[in-house]
Amino acid sequence: MLLLRKKVLQVAARNRALGFRPAAEQQPPYEKQTNIFWVAIFLAGLEIIRVVKRNCISNRANDGTCITGIVRGSWDGSKIYDPLVRDACVEDYFKTAVSLVVGTMANLRAVSYAIIPYMVFLLVFGSFVFWNGGVVLGHKEFHTASLHLPQMLYIWPNFTFFSFPIIAPYVLNAIVPQPLLPKFLRRGSTRHRLPRPAVAIVILALMTATVHYNTIVHPFTLADNRHYTFYIFRILLRHPLIKYLAVPVYFGCGWGAIQALGGMPSDDRDEDRSGDKDGEDSPITQEQVRNSHRNVSNANANANANATRSSFLLIYLLTTTLSLITAPLVEPRYLIIPWLIWRLHLPSISPSTTPSSLEKNHKSANQHDQAHGHNHGKCKDKDKDYMLWLETVWFSIVNVVTCHIFLNWGFEWTQEPGKVQRFMW
């Protein structure tokens, strides 16, 4: 595809020299070169995880969560350390990385066979880079690859802006007491998932150092006042301290995005206690109670099987980093694929999918059956995910406002009188 695009550009250049200006030349490229990381590195990483876990002997006991036990268990095939994102802390991600590396070395032959197709992609892309003299197809002097670590900070406010109906409940449940929240926003307290003060200080320090030493403002960013990023960077550069004041915003948005990827809390003790209290006087037989707990256990097992794990988050962050940090120019379109992958892996946050809600709904269904002889279908109205509706409304608002600004807020450049310029992403 890249070779075809280069050939198209060469033909277009010849046609332009002859006086022709093809319509295809007006269109932006359909693929970005850094997408090679998504079709090769990302998929290869997921395949490595699958192969390593497939070769584990699940009926053998593991050696605990200490690093030596994790290394031993990963090497002999007992267990791959890979906790759920919602239950993981910073140390768990280091342990998961060590476990995956050791497990990969222990299954090197099987892993090598599995990732051959993805290595072919890398080989073909490397051949193109060698033949082309670089990854850039157009003006190479304006698109020189350079280390731009703050790209991994800018991505989180972008996610939060477009998906704040999804992220907001996790943030609110961490900082607002449960009784003060509307029922459809209650997910069980996520306060215990806040980073420890020492961890937060270290991460904030690293973010601040990244902003101080590696902030890059591409000439194109401040050269075109039609793009929203022009005005964002004008705010960040208005005073030397503003870019540092944005660091806590990056931190908070990043925490919220990762917590949303983790899903609901796995332990909802307060609601479980209140649920038991509400149901202790209800006329439910012991068999119904056992069936209720069995259904809740099965639902939790299914939820855990499909929940996002630390290994996926590590591969996702690695791929996102590789695809962004070499671009000195900040553009929202660079973040589309990372956002899509993140959004597609978000679990449902419907109130009825929490363990306590599942049990309460099952008990209420049993009581309803005893009293009226109706089936459980009457409780399906409680399974609505209101956040999806809010997200849809938010997307509609963003689209309407964007179209309104584009159509009605036109302006003219003094150097191009009579030509209407319009705002765009």
Token pair 């899509």 in the structure block, residue: 340
Task: Return per-residue pLDDT of the chain as tens, 425 residues.
Answer: 444 344 434 434 444 443 433 433 334 444 577 889 999 999 999 999 999 999 886 544 455 678 888 888 888 877 889 999 988 999 999 999 999 999 999 999 999 999 999 999 999 998 988 888 777 776 666 667 788 999 999 999 999 999 988 888 888 888 888 778 777 777 666 677 788 899 999 999 999 999 999 999 888 888 888 999 999 999 999 999 999 999 999 999 999 999 999 876 554 434 443 344 444 444 555 565 555 555 545 555 555 556 799 999 999 999 999 999 988 889 888 999 999 999 999 887 554 444 444 445 444 445 544 544 444 444 444 445 677 888 999 999 999 999 999 999 999 998 888 899 998 87
> In the prediction, which pLDDT does 151 show?
95
User: Is the Cβ–Cβ distance between 99 and 80 less than 8 Å?
Assistant: yes
> In the prediction, which pLDDT does 302 show?
53
Say if strands 411-413 and 416-421 run parallel, antiparallel, or are unpaired: antiparallel
> In the prediction, which pLDDT does 58 show?
54
> In the prediction, which pLDDT does 29 show?
42
> In the prediction, which pLDDT does 288 show?
54
> In the prediction, which pLDDT does 189 show?
66
> In the prediction, which pLDDT does 105 show?
93
Backbone angles phi, psi at 133, to 5 degrees: 80, 20
> In the prediction, which pLDDT does 1 show?
41
Q: Is 395 helix (H, G, I), strand (E, B) or coil?
A: helix
Burial annotation 163-186 (CB, 10 A radius, 16+ → b, else e): bbbbbbbbbbbbeeebeeeeebbb
> In the prediction, which pLDDT does 146 show?
80
Cα–Cα distances in angstroms (integers) from residue 77 to residues 61, 63, 99, 251, in the given order: 10, 11, 10, 37
> In the prediction, which pLDDT does 98 show?
94
Report the Cα 63 to chain-centroid distance in Å: 31
Q: Read off the tokens for 90.
A: 């910073």
